């Protein structure tokens, strides 16, 4: 468990690949975190900018704040994993990105994953015995990774928060903020 004395900041790592991020799954939680006094930090395997999408249509680009190579889990209060199909599919092939995500779970820090982002946690091998949700097409992947998949708007298993799709974002961000707030006031 992270104690307030161990927390170095109110920074939240937002881990994404170079492209394929579902824009609303990045921007809506980002806005909610910022409004609640947290500092989202866009972390990606490469520096520069990342390309978000509105489903299959290219949308906005966003500047990378920090590379995975320069990211240290101890510098963050939690981890947000936005979905999209291509984004987590690329991340799960990047060993340092997977290791970073694994470190957040292993250190019992708050982690939130929406939609296809569960793939990063499947690859990190951290779902065994966990109750989670995701986009429905990934339920077999979750079960094969030892997790229990359920079809619910938001699922909280300890400090792990998961949701299925963009429609779930309000419940998803509320649950993540609740976990972060509980840790912040511990």
> Given this model, what pLDDT does residue 4 score?
41
Residue from 144, 146, 152, 112 nearest 127 by CA: 146
% of the chain exceeding 90 in pLDDT: 92
> Given this model, what pLDDT does residue 185 score?
54
Query: Could you read off the pLDDT of 2-44 as tens digits, one per residue?
Result: 444 344 589 999 999 999 999 999 999 999 999 999 999 999 9
Q: What residues act catalytically?
A: 115-116
Mean pLDDT of all residues in 96-108: 98
What gap in Å lies between CA 47 and CA 45, rounded to an integer? Answer: 7
Least confident segment among 31-35, 74-78, 172-176, 178-182: 178-182
In the chain, where are the structural domains located?
A: 11-184
According to CATH, the topology of domain 11-184 is Rossmann fold (3.40.50)
Q: What is the pTM of this model?
A: 0.94
Q: What is the 3-state secondary structure (H, E, C) of 26-94?
A: HHHHHHHHHHCCCEEEEEECCCCEEEEEECCEEEEEEECCEEHHHCCHHHCCEEEECCCCHHHHHHCCC
> Given this model, what pLDDT does residue 77 score?
97
> Given this model, what pLDDT does residue 92 score?
97
Query: How high does pLDDT run on average in the chain?
Result: 94
């Amino acid at each position: 468990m992270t104690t307030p004395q161990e927390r170095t900041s109110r920074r939240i790592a937002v881990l994404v690949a170079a492209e394929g991020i579902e824009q609303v799954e990045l921007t809506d939680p980002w806005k909610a975190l910022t409004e609640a006094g947290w500092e989202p930090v866009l972390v990606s395997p490469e520096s520069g900018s990342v390309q978000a999408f509105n489903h299959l249509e290219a949308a906005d680009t966003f500047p990378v704040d920090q590379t995975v190579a320069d990211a240290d889990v101890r510098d963050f209060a939690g981890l947000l994993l936005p979905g999209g199909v291509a984004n987590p599919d690329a991340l799960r092939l990047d060993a340092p990105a997977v290791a970073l995500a694994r470190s957040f779970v292993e250190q019992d820090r708050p982690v939130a994953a929406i939609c296809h982002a569960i793939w990063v946690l499947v690859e990190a091998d951290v779902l065994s015995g966990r109750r989670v949700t995701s986009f429905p097409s990934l339920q077999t992947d979750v079960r094969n990774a030892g997790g229990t998949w359920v079809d619910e708007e938001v699922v909280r298993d300890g400090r792990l928060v998961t949701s299925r799709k963009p429609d779930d974002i309000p419940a998803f961000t509320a649950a993540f903020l609740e976990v972060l707030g509980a840790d912040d006031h511990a």
